[in-house]
Structure 1
Amino acid sequence: MPALSLDLRERIVKSYEEGTTSIRKLAERFQVSKTTVHKLIILKRETGQLAPKRPNGGKPSPLVGKEAEGMAMVVEHPDYTLSEYCQEWLERTGMDIAVTVDLGID
């Protein structure tokens, strides 16, 4: 689910700060959850900001920095299937990785 626009975030918090309605009524009015309203209020109070966090801000892949190992494996075994590469990677590094396929179907 995409982040709420900054404009919507500001309208929600401004309505709350006016003090004329409850969190529940704000959630209904703006069609968001009560938790969302509450989190926005806390975010504004603690940081003074309402901008959404950057997407993909989580921890980096454990495979970052291991590209050379992966390429060496492909050069050594160009005929392997994806499943065989996953098994070979597990044996070489102890990391269990999964086969994923993007079919490009929307």
Structure 2
Amino acid sequence: MRPYSIDLRNKIIEIWKKEKISIRKLAQHFGVSKSFIQKLIKKYKETGDIRPLPQGGRPPCKLNSEQLIILIELMEKNNDATFEELSELLEKATGVKVGKSTIGRISQKLNYSLKKNLICS
């Protein structure tokens, strides 16, 4: 669900200041929940700000740019290594432990594929 617009928030605060309407009636008038009005008024009183807080987002990458370069070099040198082996090599090289799924996601993001050496007997 997207946050309520700044315009709506401004209107609610303006009417609350001018008319001193109860929180319950404000919520009914604007079609929002009572808790939203309570939180908005509390935030306005404490900070004077009515903007919504930032929403969600992805967690940051576990590897910085230097570690990514090391990982790419390891992928090129050990082209037939599994993600688990690459994870171990990366830990030895940088001291940062990541799982094989993280290695897989990073290789997908970099559009880098590993070629396996097939040994036929």
Taking structure 2 as the reference length, what is the TM-score of the superposition?
Answer: 0.56
Residue 5 (str. 1) matches residue 5 (str. 2): yes
Residue 68 (str. 1) matches residue 66 (str. 2): yes
Which consecutive unaligned segments of at least 5 residues does structure 1 have? none
- Number of residues of Structure 1 aligned to a counterpart in Structure 2: 97
Q: Secondary structure at the match of 2:3?
A: coil
Which consecutive unaligned segments of at least 5 residues does structure 2 have? 110-121
Give 2:52's aligned amino acid: P
1:38 CA displacement: 0.7
User: 1:29 maps to which residue?
Assistant: 29
**Residues 3-27 of structure 1, C-alpha deviation per residue, up to 9 Å, x if partnerless?**
222111011122223213x322322
Q: Secondary structure at the match of 1:63?
A: coil
Give 1:88's aligned amino acid: S
Structure in which a larger fraction of residues adopt helix = 2
**Residues 20-54 of structure 1, C-alpha deviation per residue, up to 9 Å, x if partnerless?**
3x322322322222221111101111112222345
> Matched residues in 1 for 2:3 and 2:89: separation?
36
User: 1:94 maps to which residue?
Assistant: 97
Q: Secondary structure at the match of 1:77?
A: helix
Q: Call closer, same or farther: CA 1:67–1:47 in 2, change over 3 Å.
A: same
Q: Call closer, same or farther: CA 1:80–1:43 in 2, change over 3 Å.
A: farther
Alignment of 1:77-88 (within 5 A): 77-78=75-76, 79=79, 84=83, 88=87
CA RMSD of aligned residues (A): 3.7
Q: Secondary structure at the match of 1:3?
A: coil
Query: Percent identity at matched positions?
Result: 28
Q: Which has the larger radius of gyration?
A: 2
1:84 CA displacement: 1.5
Query: 4+ residue stretches of structure 1 with deviation over 6 A?
Result: none
Give 2:66's aligned amino acid: A
> Matched residues in 1 for 2:50 and 2:5: separation?
9
